[in-house]
Structure 1
Amino acid sequence: MLAGTPAHVWRIILMEGMERFSYYGFRAILTLYFVSLDMRESSAAAGFMFTSALAYAAPLVGAWLSDERWGRYATIMRFGSVYAVGLWVLVAAAAVASLPWTIVALVFVGLGTGGIKPCVSTFGADQIDNAIGDASEATRRYFAVFYASINLGSVFSYLLVPAMRAIFGYAAAFAVPAVLLAAALAVFIGGRRKYTMLPPREGGVGVPAAIWRACAWRVPDDDDARELRSIGEVMVLLPVFWMLYDQQGSIWVVQASEMKNFKGKLQPETMGVINPVLILLLLPLFEKVIYPALERRGVSTRAPWRMMAGMIVAAAAFVVAGLLDLRVNSGQRVNILWQLPQLFLITVAEILVSVTGLEYSYEKAPEAMRASVSALYLLTTAVGDLMGGFLFVAAGHLGVSRPAVLFLCAVLVLLTAIAFRFVARKHFDGFETKPVQTEEDPAEELQAVENVLLRG
């Protein structure tokens, strides 16, 4: 697929797959690790959500330092080193069951993984651009392979790390991602003499400027400011969706741990593999079959209807999860495979909400600010995870039951869908969802797609 691609580009792709294994691997067992430290399940879920929030806020810092100060290679190496130190501190903390050192480790890990996130894929695209004369199609193929490496890393981490945890304990399980990340950095460093390293840009429009201009409410003649405001009004509704979505790795894992293990072989954290597998299967199905079929029957698949439908499907997922939790809490030994319906629904919701939301924000963003808008889109995940963390802290203090929290989440996202309807009337008029096309910078476009489709 990448015939003729320089070997050092493959180093970057391999590094990304190994790094994603490390990230999803430690994340898969994190909630139950918190529980093993005698934290209440609400506190454990909050800890997971706060860690995820940091990992999705840090890309703004990484993107700014990469673009304005250090360049991509130096940013990857510096944040990657912080990341590696954090994982090894996590291994040591797990060995002695130390919560304070665990918190220190997770701050390092969150900053490290978030800091490199906006840099690795585009650094690889830089190599394609400078190694091949007509780089447009080669760059698209590169991003497809890059996408595959992320999914492979994710799938294998969910299969291997929970099994290691069950057999050898948390310290040994955390050591697997730590070793893989160290190896990933070694692979990456090995190509340093061959890399094209572009200098930081001068006079670019960064994330802080994007935020400032989006807030310029009293500049009616500034087209860029108006477009940014319209994007902001859509984005401000997305954190509630992400608050629900990332509970797959927190409260849903706790729920799975209280269910009957499938033939004694399926660990509760392993259910996390369902989402990336379903994404790979369902995304082309929606684009090639479902949307065209609905259009032929006169059913609109415009952006607002997709996103509202996604929020409603997310609400359905949490109603199903809440009903299942009532059965689990009643003392019934419910098979863990009964989580499949809610996992299927939340994956469908992700396809409907995140892909369409990205198309809208990318289409509306001023050309010079598209990378910044993509980073801001990631920030909505951080805000959603932060909201989820505070929700679980409050639920723990108030003694709210887990099913009640799940049903509350369903209500919140339904209310968000209603609010979205009013915003959609104002901003989606005439906007049709379609494949984003640009001949000027395919790397930037596909990086933006990756930011949303490959969250994590």
Structure 2
Amino acid sequence: MPRQIGYIIGNEGCERFSFYGMRNILTPFLITSLLMYLPAADRPGAAKDIFHTFVIGVYFFPLLGGWLADRWLGKYRTVLWLSLIYCVGHACLAIFERSVAGFYTGLALIALGSGGIKPCVASFVGDQFTARNRHLARIVFDAFYWIINVGSFFASLLMPLFLRHYGAAVAFGIPGVLMFVATIVFWMGRHQYVMLPPVAHDPDSFARVVRTALTARAPGEGRPGLVVAFVGLLAAVASLALIPVLGVVPAVCLAFVATLAGVGSGARMQLDRAQGGHPERAIEGVRVVLRMLVVFALVTPFWSLFDQKASTWIVQAGEMDFPSWLHPAQMQAINPALVLLLIPFNNLAVFPFLRRLGYEPTALRRMTAGIGFAALAWVAVGSIQLAIDGGDPVSIFWQLLPYVLLTSGEVLVSATGLEFAYSQAPPSMKGTLMSFWTLSVTVGNLWVLLANAGVRNVTVLGYIQNTGISTSAFQMFFFAAFAGVAAVAFGWYARRYRVVDNYRAA
């Protein structure tokens, strides 16, 4: 095992404590403090919108971080400098707890710092391995995800107590201190890391190959791919016109998704036309990335369900019966605690058992099952909401069932997808592809904002009222169905996906 891995794992544990420490108290803090200027009935909805807008930013900025790492700074320097911005963002949350502008500035800086380093740290781990010891990389990616959840567990358990007993300045300040420690730990390993240089001005980069494919002409043929790309751009412009309805962040994000879908689909239609202008290695690399974008798109419904455990599920927990020693936000500690148990349990018991039965739990099969588990979790949480709406007292511990189902899905999707995305990425595009993986979380949270905006529509509200169930319960069952359809589509596509291996040669 490369010795320098310890520094990266230590950095990740502290950074994840800092991130989840502030994220998991964000919704209750907004409802009880920063949004007090709104009517009480409007605060939960506004808090959920702010939370998911923040998460959109966190998982959108990996595009910037991946680009900086691949083309200009390299992964190490990108992580180091953006970590310092991350620390400043935490300081803003602690200092400006009563200032809307100051607090939102802190959230923006954290989104930039946390999002920017996200693809770089994950791919930096992979850079420390070669094809000779790649079997250890899979263990480390699991350990990487395991330590993330160690930080998340203690943050979820402790930060709501600090918020309740010591106030927002202390509760947001402690994660800031942990982020500073994370930065120092990462810096300490600087003399031992394998640091692959950035590929500046690569004539065969992803963007250049895509541009060649879209613009190249074939004798006697049109350019249907370019037409599809243009339609995507038109859809992006139309999305920007929705800013007054959806808000700036959702509309801009929707425009980006439309552009990516149009350009990616068009390039895939005409990718063979890039031959001659670029080496086959680069063209095949783009082909792999475009295939992976379909995988990532089908994972987005999972993230729309998963991230609502820190918003919708907290709001539901506040409506349930709970003991005085428990803060509703502390229920989130169940998720990382289960991860710590389920990852080794799957690796040591479940997967070997399936292999003995002759069924290989490949990465794509695990991810298909994970999306299905998330759908079941939301069936369970929707059923709980029906009981709450019926007026019966419901114990908060009934949420254990959906947490078990959702976490079972998480370890099959998130931990697996992280290593799978790295293994599929060509060497010059690893940061970019890891950025697209995190972008799937952005799109998942975009679906949440669009659904929240939809239930504010008078026509939609009228339809929900005719069903005889509450808006909250209706949304929960909607998301369950959304993920169920995605699981079926993902499984169908996975059977046709051709897996490649792009680890660094020994």
**TM-score bucket (shorter structure):** 0.7 to 0.9
Indicate the residue corresponding to 1:72 in structure 2.
Answer: 75
Candidates 440, 446, 449, aligned match of 2:504: 440
Deviations 1:329-364 (A, max 9, x none): 334332221111101111122233345555665565
The letter for the 2-side match of 1:257 is G
Displacement of 1:211 after TM fit? Answer: 7.1
- Farther off after superposition, 203-212 or 303-312: 203-212
Trace 1:113-132 onto structure 2 (pairs within 5 A).
113-120=114-121
C-alpha distance 234-111 of structure 1, shift in aligned 2 (>3 A): same
Indicate the residue corresponding to 1:182 in structure 2.
Answer: 180
Paired with 2:71 and 2:353, the residues of 1 have a C-alpha distance of 46
Which TM-score applies when normalising by structure 2? 0.72
Displacement of 1:92 after TM fit? Answer: 2.8
Candidates 158, 161, 164, aligned match of 1:160: 158
Displacement of 1:387 after TM fit? Answer: 1.8
Displacement of 1:84 after TM fit? Answer: 1.7
Paired with 2:144 and 2:417, the residues of 1 have a C-alpha distance of 22
- Farther off after superposition, 280-289 or 357-366: 357-366
Indicate the residue corresponding to 1:60 in structure 2.
Answer: 63
Larger radius of gyration: 2
Q: Does 1:289 align with 2:349?
A: yes
Indicate the residue corresponding to 2:23 in structure 1.
Answer: 27
Displacement of 1:227 after TM fit? Answer: 3.4
Number of residues of Structure 1 aligned to a counterpart in Structure 2? 425
Indicate the residue corresponding to 1:112 in structure 2.
Answer: 113
C-alpha distance 407-211 of structure 1, shift in aligned 2 (>3 A): farther
Paired with 2:414 and 2:144, the residues of 1 have a C-alpha distance of 19
Indicate the residue corresponding to 1:402 in structure 2.
Answer: 472
- Farther off after superposition, 206-215 or 85-94: 206-215
Indicate the residue corresponding to 2:11 in structure 1.
Answer: 15
Displacement of 1:200 after TM fit? Answer: 3.2
C-alpha distance 341-67 of structure 1, shift in aligned 2 (>3 A): same
Candidates 406, 410, 415, aligned match of 1:350: 410
SS at match of 1:200: coil
Displacement of 1:309 after TM fit? Answer: 3.3
Q: Does 1:83 align with 2:86?
A: yes
The letter for the 2-side match of 1:409 is F
Tell me if the contact between 1:207 and 1:373 (Cα under 8 Å) persists in the aligned partners: no
Tell me if the contact between 1:210 and 1:369 (Cα under 8 Å) persists in the aligned partners: no
The letter for the 2-side match of 1:47 is I
Candidates 268, 274, 281, aligned match of 2:328: 268
Q: Does 1:219 align with 2:271?
A: yes
Candidates 395, 399, 402, aligned match of 1:339: 399
Indicate the residue corresponding to 1:100 in structure 2.
Answer: 101
Percent identity, aligned pairs only?
Answer: 35
Paired with 1:225 and 1:129, the residues of 2 have a C-alpha distance of 23
Indicate the residue corresponding to 1:387 in structure 2.
Answer: 447
Tell me if the contact between 2:138 and 2:419 (Cα under 8 Å) persists in the aligned partners: no
Displacement of 1:372 after TM fit? Answer: 2.8
Paired with 1:412 and 1:48, the residues of 2 have a C-alpha distance of 21
Candidates 374, 377, 402, aligned match of 1:317: 377
SS at match of 1:403: helix
Tell me if the contact between 1:86 and 1:107 (Cα under 8 Å) persists in the aligned partners: yes
Tell me if the contact between 1:11 and 1:187 (Cα under 8 Å) persists in the aligned partners: yes
Candidates 285, 295, 300, aligned match of 1:239: 300
The letter for the 2-side match of 1:20 is R
Paired with 2:191 and 2:125, the residues of 1 have a C-alpha distance of 14
Displacement of 1:225 after TM fit? Answer: 4.3
Paired with 2:420 and 2:196, the residues of 1 have a C-alpha distance of 30
Unaligned runs of 5+ in 2: 37-41, 214-263, 274-282, 465-470
Deviations 1:91-142 (A, max 9, x none): 2332x2x33333222111101111122334655777x689xxx987887777
C-alpha distance 287-72 of structure 1, shift in aligned 2 (>3 A): closer
Tell me if the contact between 2:146 and 2:339 (Cα under 8 Å) persists in the aligned partners: no
C-alpha distance 83-361 of structure 1, shift in aligned 2 (>3 A): closer
Displacement of 1:308 after TM fit? Answer: 3.8
Paired with 1:311 and 1:144, the residues of 2 have a C-alpha distance of 19
